[in-house]
Structures are given as structure tokens and as C-alpha cells.
Amino acid sequence: MEHYSMNLTLQIWRQKNSLDKGDFETYEIKDISSEMSFLEMIDVLNEKLINEGKDAIAFDHDCREGICGACSMHINGRPHGPWHATTVCQLHMRAFKNGETIVVEPWRSKAFPVIKDLVVDRSSFDRIIQAGGYISVNTGNAVDANAIPINKDNADDSFAAASCIGCGACVAACKNSSAMLFLAAKVSHLALLPQGKPERKARALNMVAQMDKEGFGSCTFTGACEAVCPKEISITNISRLNKEYFGAGLSIDKQ
Amino acid sequence: MALTGLFLISFLVIHAGLNATIWANDGGEMFNFSAHFMGSMIVIRIMEIVLFIFFIIHIIQGYVLESKNLSRRGKGYKINLANRGSKWYSRTMGLLGTLLLLFLVMHLYHFWTPSRLGGIGDIQPLNEVDYDGKGYHNLFEEMVRIFQNPLVVILYVVGCISLAYHLMHGFQSTFRTLGVHNKRYLSGLIIVGYAFAIIISAVFAMMPISMYLGWVK
Ligand code: HEM
Ligand code: SF4
Ligand code: FES
């Protein structure tokens, strides 16, 4: 694709801290290369702001290669911007045209309070993982990977679910602010493998209980999460989570 | 939500099936027979109470769910994802349900009140017809009479359209809620769901329309 430069108008959410009311600021930015990533474009804007003695725009980022789940911007009404199955850090400026206005907002959910500008507190996800998103094994020498035979379909489904990077786009997109796609990915990833089986009942019950406690909404299967997930986590994982949850609720041993 | 919804779906099948007897074109004889049969059987009278309870649970659960979910966002977006991620009717189940609730009130007032409560206080009882020397409520005549009013016909058709959209989302959502995750089953259920929603609603909508246009007498 041919390289081109563009001038853009950005409307970006600015908020000093969690208590500040916050508002949109408008910025004009010139000579942005179509080959830049979206975050690099923000870097350019931030350098300009710093040179002018202003406060840089705070935003989350880490790997910048689509694997860590840190980046989180709601761009023109869509989490992670216009490209399908792409994190913001992998979004390139060629997705935009010269002269365009781009609106950038933080994830909006009571369970993800804004810390500053575009940075939200996603520790609610960490607490959901702490409630059961792990397996308990004694450490030691690594076990031979092929010691336990695993059905290929289960291995594939588990692997697909394991690709969830915990970014929270599913919550940001859902009209109910439900975290069910995230939870379903984590539960499915482990429940499909023999290593995850021993704790599967307590895992499903405890993780769902923690999700409710954190103030996420309930799933009504609108499908918005699946449509925006950068890792294309399938919504059928939520059905699997429901099955796990009902099964566990009916049969768990008293603790 | 899913269990009550599923029960209501099964009710719709029976209700549509029985009402389809209006098209027998026998002056409503078969229809009045079946309405009487349903009204006089003790099992069905008990099921009627169960049905009312399920409706009420479904409605209460629906509103509790909707209001809880609406409160989870906090500050909203300047630009919403809207139709880029989901179908409009999937996001408006509460509103479609409210239309159905309004429809239900009107519908019960039209047919259930005179048929079950007729004769109590000021409520007019239905006329009777005679088949083989036995008296039956002429519910058919009542239907024909009510559906002469074009406004009522339009309200019924709007009710049926709301039902179609409510079920286009609700049918598949029920099975997903109940844990069906096999992709082959699900794709089948989704097709059945769309077909069911459209066919059932169309059958219901055709009843007032065919009476208004005089296709059945
Ligand atoms: C009378 C008023 C009604 C109200 C207020 C109402 C409201 C609702 C609400 C708020 C939901 C949940 C929204 C969602 O899952 O996205 C729902 C789901 C549903 N409704 Fe209704 N509804 C009504 C009537 C009906 C009727 C007449 C039927 C069927 C014949 C029906 C079948 C369903 C089904 C199958 C679901 C999906 C359940 C699930 O997702 O697990 N509803 N309804
Ligand atoms: S399910 Fe998808 S959208 Fe949700 S946290 Fe995981 S990767 Fe992000
Ligand atoms: S910065 Fe790691 S996924 Fe975007």
C-alpha cells in the first residue's frame, strides 16, 4: 500500500484523576505517517504536548505487539478501533483518512474506574483470576508434554480460549458491561484440559461469584464482545461456562 | 430467564396450534370446541395458573436484569458501538418485552376477561352457541367482532412483530444460557429459532388480519 501523510483532529478524553469529572480535549495533529501505529501517533502528540509544557496523555501500553492486553482505547465508538481482531497497538494509521476526526475514550464500566485520561483500573480482572483462574500443581521438573493424551479438538478449543489477553474490550463493548467472554475464555481454557479438571467445579463457581462482586453486568448474548475481541474468542465459550457453572452448582461437594 | 422463556415458547406453540382452527372455515365450530375443551379440563386450568406465574416471573426477572445491567456502565460513551457489534433487537429485549406486556394486557382484556370472568359483576358474559344440544361460549364470534376494528388489528400486528423480534433473540439465547456449546447443534438451533420466531408470529398476525378482511366466517 502506498505511503501517505495526514492531518487529523483528535478528540481525546482527559481526566486528571479518578475524582475529576473529565472532558474531551481537541487536538490538531499534522504530518502523521500512514505507516505509524495508533500508539506511535499518540506518542508524537505527547512529545508535542511535553514540549509545550503541557501534561502528556496517559494511556496503557506494554508489548506493542498485540499479546499483553495493556492497550485499551475506545476509538470512534469501537474498542481497539476499526480493524477486526486487532489491538490498538497493532492498529495502523492507514486505517484513517486525511482530515478525519478521531474520538478516543477510555473503557467505560463501573468495574473499570478511570485512573487518569485513557487509563482504567482493570484489577477487577486480576481478582477474578485469583478466584480460580489457575491450576494447583507442585513445582519441580517440567513434566513431559505428551505424558497425558489430549483429544485434538479439546486441545484446539483450549488453545483458542487461552489466547485471551485480558484486555477488557469485551466489557467495554457490552451494553451490560458483562465480563462473561473474558471469564468464559479463562474457564474454558482450563476446563478442557485434564490438568484443569480437578478444580473445575470450584473454579466456575468462585470466578462467577467474584465477577458479580466486582460489579460486572450479566450476559444476555448480544454478541458485541465476540465482534470486538482482538483475539476472536468465540461466544460459544460462554455457553460452555454456563454448562460448567450449572454442573458445578448441582453437584459440588460441600466444602 | 431461559427456563421461563422456554416455557412461554412451548405455550405459544399450543396457543397458535389451537387458534389455527379458526381457518377450518366452519363458522368457528372447531375453534369453539377446542376453546371449550381447554377451558373445561382441570389439567389445563392448573396449567393456566402455572402459565400466569411463569409470565410474572419472566417479567419480573426481565426488568430486574435489565435495570441491573443498565446500571453497570456508569458514564456512557460519546460514540456507541451500536449495530457494529450486535443486533438492535438483542439490545432492546426489555423494550420489546414491555411492548409484549402492553399487548398482553390488551389481549387478556379482549378474550380472557369475558370468557373466564364473564357474568361476575358488570363483566358481560359471552354469547352461547348450540352444538348438538350443548351450550358453548361463542369465542369465535367475539374474535370476529373485536377484529372488525382496524385499530385493534394494527395493535395486534404490532404485538406480533414485537414477539417476532423478542423471539429471534430469545430463542437462541435460551439455549446458550442453558449451556449448549456444540457448534453444530447451535447453528441448527439458530436457524430453527429464526424460523420459529417468524412463523409463529406470522400465524398469530394472520388471525386478526384474516378476520378483518372477512377470509374466515
Ligand atoms: C410480557 C412481557 C415480557 C417481558 C417484559 C419480557 C422481557 C424479557 C427480558 C427483559 C428478557 C431478557 C433480555 C435478554 O436476555 O436479552 C427476556 C428474554 C426472553 N424472553 Fe421475554 N418478555 C416478555 C414476554 C415474553 C414472551 C411472551 C415470550 C415467549 C413466548 C418470551 C420469551 C423470552 C425468551 C425465550 C427469552 C430469552 C431467555 C434467555 O436469554 O435466556 N418473553 N424477556
Ligand atoms: S475475551 Fe477478548 S476482548 Fe475480552 S479480555 Fe479476552 S481478549 Fe480481551
Ligand atoms: S500493548 Fe500489548 S497488546 Fe497492545
* Ligand 1 lined by B61 (C-beta under 6 Å): no
| pLDDT exceeds cutoff 90 at A91 | yes
Asked whether residue B65 is assigned to any structural domain, the reply reads yes
Note whether A237 contacts B: Cβ–Cβ < 8 A.
Answer: yes
C-beta separation of A74 from A105 below 8 A: yes
pLDDT score at A254? 56
Is A221 at the interface with chain B, CB within 8 A? yes
Report the distance separating Cα A195 and Cα A203, nearest Å: 13
Look at residue B208 in the predicted model and tell me its pLDDT: 95
- Residue of chain B whose Cα is closest to the Cα of A106: B77
* Average pLDDT value for residue range B160-169: 97
Question: Parallel, antiparallel, or unpaired: how do β-strands A5-14 and A23-33 relate?
Answer: antiparallel
**What pLDDT score does A58 carry?**
98
pTM over 0.80: yes
**pLDDT tens digits for A184-234?**
999 999 999 999 999 999 999 999 999 999 999 999 999 999 999 999 999
Instruction: Single out the residue of B171, B190, B170 nearest to residue B182, CA to CA.
Output: B190
- Angle at alpha carbon of residue A138, lines to A133 and A144, rounded to 5°: 95
Give the CA count within 13 Å in the CB-facing half-sphere of B124: 9
Contacts of A177 in chain B (CB under 8 A): 69, 72-73
Quote the pLDDT of residue B135: 85
Give me the residue label for grid cell 404485538. B159
What does DSSP assign to residue A64?
Answer: S
Tens digit of each residue's pLDDT (9 = 90 or more) over A7-66 = 999 999 999 999 999 999 999 999 999 999 999 999 999 999 999 999 999 999 999 999
**What mean pLDDT do residues A131-149 have?**
87
- Mean pLDDT, rounded, of chain A: 95
**Backbone φ and ψ of B127, nearest 5°:** -65, 155
Q: Give yes or no for A246 touching B (CB within 8 A).
A: yes
Whether B72 sits inside 8 A of A216 (CB atoms) is yes
Q: How many folded domains does chain B comprise?
A: 1
Q: What is the mean pLDDT of residues B156-175?
A: 97
pLDDT score of B146? 95
**Residue among B53, B93, B156 whose CB has most ligand 1 atoms within 8 A, to mutate:** B93
Q: Is B177 in the pocket of ligand 1 (CB under 6 A)?
A: yes
Atom of ligand 2 nearest to the CA of A168: 5
Tell me the nearest-neighbour CA distance from B50 into chain A, angstroms.
24
Q: What single-letter amino acid sits at A226? A: E
Residues with CB under 6 A from ligand 3: A 61-64, 66-71, 87-89, 165
The answer to whether the beta carbons of residues A137 and A148 sit under 8 Å apart is no
A239 vs B contacts (CB less than 8 Å): 175-177, 179-181, 186
Q: Which of B93, B90, B86 is nearest to B59 (CA)?
A: B93
Q: Please say if the pLDDT value at position A177 is more than 80.
A: yes
Does residue B74 fall inside a structural domain? Answer: no
Checking if the pLDDT of B1 tops 90, the result is no
pLDDT of residue A106: 98
- Ligand 1 pocket test target in B10, B166, B200 with most atoms within 8 Å of CB: B166
Q: What are phi and psi of B2, to 5 degrees?
A: -70, -45
Residues 8-67 of A with CB under 8 A from B: 11, 24
DSSP B83: G
Q: pLDDT band for A253, please (50, 70, 90 cuts).
A: low
Residue B173 has pLDDT above 70, yes or no: yes
Residue B159 inside a domain? The answer is yes
Contact of A100 with A6, CB cutoff 8 Å: yes
For chain A, positions 101-130, list CB contacts with chain B under 8 A.
Answer: 103, 105, 108-111
Domains and CATH numbers, chain A: 5-115 (3.10.20.30), 123-254 (1.10.1060.10)
Nearest atom of ligand 2 to the alpha carbon of A232: 2
Domain of B190?
2-69+85-213
Place of cell 460489579: A215
**Amino acid sitting at position B103:** F
Q: What pLDDT score does B120 carry?
A: 82
Ligand 2 atom closest to residue A228's alpha carbon, by position in its atom list: 3
- Closest CB to B81 among A77, A110, A221: A77
Question: Bigger pLDDT: B117 or A104?
Answer: A104
Q: Is residue B180 part of a domain?
A: yes
Ligand 2 centroid distance, CA of A179 (Å)? 9
Nearest CA in chain B to A226: B85
In a domain, B178, yes or no: yes
| Packing angle, helices A123-130 and A180-191, rounded to 10 | 30
The residue whose grid cell reads 348450540 is B130
Q: Is residue B118 part of a domain?
A: yes
A248 CA → ligand 1 middle, Å? 26
Predicted local confidence at residue B144, as pLDDT: 93
Q: Which ligand is nearest to the CA of A168?
A: 2
Q: Does the residue B8 lie in any domain?
A: yes
Q: What kind and span of H or E run contains A27?
A: strand A23-33
- Three-class secondary structure of residue A218 per DSSP: coil
Q: Per the CB < 8 Å rule, is A239 touching B176?
A: yes
Q: Is B63 part of any domain? A: yes
State the nearest Cα–Cα gap between B67 and chain A, in angstroms. Answer: 10
CA nearest to A200, candidates B104, A176, B100, A208? A208
ipTM: 0.91
Q: How far is the CA of B169 from the centre of ligand 2 (A)?
A: 23
Tell me how far apart the alpha carbons of residues A200 and A164 are, in angstroms, rounded to a whole number. Answer: 19
Cβ–Cβ below 8 Å for B78 and A103: yes
Predicted pLDDT of residue B82: 95
Give mean pLDDT, residues A133-138. Answer: 90
What is the pLDDT, as a whole number, of residue B116?
A: 85
Give the C-alpha separation, B186 to B103, whole Å. Answer: 31
| Banded pLDDT at B97 (limits 50, 70, 90) | very high
